[in-house]
A and B are shown apart, each in its own frame.
Chain A
Amino acid sequence: MKIQDIINGILNGDRRSIARAISIVEDDEMVIEASEIIKGIYNQTGRAHVIGITGPPGIGKSTMIGRLARVLSDGNKKVSVIAVDASSPFSGGSLLGNRIRMQESLTENGIFMRSLANRGMNGGLSRSTWDAVKILDAAGNDYIIIETVGAGQADLDIVDLADTVIVVLGPGLGDEIQAIKAGIMEIGDIFIVNKMDRDGSFLAMKDIQDSLAMTPQKEWKVPVIGLDSLKGKGYDELVSEITKHGVFNTSRPNIRLDRFKKEVEMALQAEIRRQYLLEARELISKKDAIARLSEEKIDPYSAAMKILKSGKTGL
């Protein structure tokens, strides 16, 4: 597929083009094509309400997202989902499992879903996730839901990327909840206690409400909502809070600016990386280069400086 066709396809909402574009931005080897695509669609972005969902594993996030996506799309809105799964640090492969939990809603309701492997990002959100969001935004989605791996670092990144951050917790987490809470209380715009039909859910809600009362007050009053995903209870309230938060965000122009700053930073890093690391790899792979450096018995940092200084002339 040609890049221009892909760009047109995205703007027309063609799934194949959207899917292909996301594959391109995922591929580090295709940085040039990726930036062409982003260039071509960027002025159509900024409309979508980006919802980031985080929380510990096993809490029913995926089922919940499937339901939420359906409810949002029932309101005649275009919804897409991005699910980030962890990659194996050893083989580099991943099992992108979240899809199955949400499967039913997707095909029936025309909801687009894409699984992204984090490819060893140590928990953070890769640049491709950001670009995938832009693509889906330009494709005309009203809502883009991102489900993260939920392991600390990703939580911080999601704050930058999402308009609304939803933290999903559950009953019976016990001691774990205290550990989780450290750091998580500040990032959520909406808190959900899932599996409300279970024992301990009411206590969990109370616990979270109390903790929120102790964190520094923001202008936005953070709601705590109980959900029963199997019965569909609580979703109306959730949607209403999401909508309210969307409106609240319009009174905060800095969000867009901060995000743009982060994106420019990432683009800079990517470009630096591309320029320098390509070269660096060449230099390091040069015959005997490492062996010779090692003979000089210098430390790795000095070795690196030496390599950088040597530039294209070789060692």
Chain B
Amino acid sequence: MDGKNLSLFKDKPIKVLLAKPGIDGHDRGVLVLAKAFRDAGMEVLYAGLLPTPEEVVDTAINEDVDVIALSLLNGAHLTVFRKISELLKKRGIDDIAVVGGGTIPDGDKPKLEKLGITGNYGPGTPLSTIVDHITARASEARSRKMQ
């Protein structure tokens, strides 16, 4: 029998890929986020430690995620997040949203947003804020997928 436990015809869960695309092993935050997203009903993929930008984008495409959530605490976000954004563009992907987070100075946020990377939440941001933002961007991405 096919079906879902909780509610009939529940909307297809948001699928999110959590990744730390640089050389950064500090995973306390992403592990917390992974659980929080799951508890919010999302399907969560975690890219593990030290994936390359290529692996992150490959995974995102094959898994057809709605959102890539990038986190970096080592200061290299401008370089590395840009790489991901460029790889997505190169492969013609315009229906996967990218959200950022980590130790990102305010001055860098506009640059990231120009690349389409929103959110860019820092330490102390409530989980609910992050979940809401991811949900919003996922819906946008979904609607683009439907076209």
Q: Which residues of A contact B (CB under 8 A)?
A: 1, 15-16, 18-20, 22-23, 26-29, 87-89, 91-97, 99-100, 103, 106-107, 112-115, 117, 119-122, 124, 126-127, 266, 269-270, 273, 277-278, 281
Stretch at the interface among B39-47, B100-108, B115-123: B39-47
Q: Which residues of B contact A27 (CB under 8 A)?
A: 12
Residue tally, chain B, CB below 8 Å to A: 42
- Chain B residues at the A interface, C-beta cutoff of 8 Å: 1-6, 8-13, 15, 34-35, 37-48, 51-52, 54-55, 58-59, 61-64, 91-93, 145, 147
Task: A19-B62, A93-B41, A113-B63 are known; give 7 further A-B pairs, CB within 8 A.
Answer: A19-B64, A92-B6, A93-B43, A94-B13, A107-B54, A266-B2, A277-B9
* Distance (whole angstroms) from the CB of A100 to the closest CB of chain B: 4
By a CB distance below 8 angstroms, the chain A residues around B145 are 1, 20, 23
- The reply to whether B13 and A93 form a contact with Cβ atoms under 8 Å apart is yes
Min CB distance, A197 to chain B, in Å? 24
Q: Are A88 and B39 in contact (CB under 8 A)?
A: yes
A117 touches B43 (CB 8 A): yes
B61 contacts A273, C-beta separation under 8 Å:
no
User: 17 pairs across A/B with beta carbons < 8 Å?
Assistant: A15-B62, A16-B92, A20-B64, A20-B145, A27-B12, A28-B4, A91-B39, A92-B4, A93-B13, A97-B46, A99-B45, A99-B46, A99-B48, A103-B48, A107-B58, A119-B5, A269-B1
A224 to B51, CA, bound (A): 35
Q: Are the CB atoms of B12 and A103 closer together than 8 Å? A: no
Q: Nearest CB to that of A20 among chain B residues?
A: B64
CA distance A65 to B34 in the complex (A): 24
Partner of A96, one of B11, B43, B92: B43
Contacts A99-B45, A103-B48, A121-B3; A16 near B61 (Cβ below 8 A): yes
Chain B residues with CB under 8 A of A107: 52, 54-55, 58-59
> B51 contacts A114, CB within 8 Å?
no
Are the C-beta atoms of B41 and A95 separated by less than 8 Å?
A: no
Considering the chains assembled together, what is the distance between the CA atoms of A26 and B43 in angstroms? 12
In the complex, the answer to whether A29 meets B63 with C-beta atoms within 8 Å is: no
User: Which residue among B2, B45, B54 has the maximum number of chain A CB atoms within 10 Å of its CB?
Assistant: B2
Contact of B63 among A115, A121, A270 (CB under 8 A): A115
CA distance A245 to B79 in the complex (A): 50
Contact A120 B5 (CB under 8 A): yes
Q: Ordered nearest first, which 9 A-B pairs have the shortest CB separation?
A: A120-B5, A100-B48, A93-B38, A19-B64, A23-B64, A27-B12, A127-B2, A93-B41, A92-B41
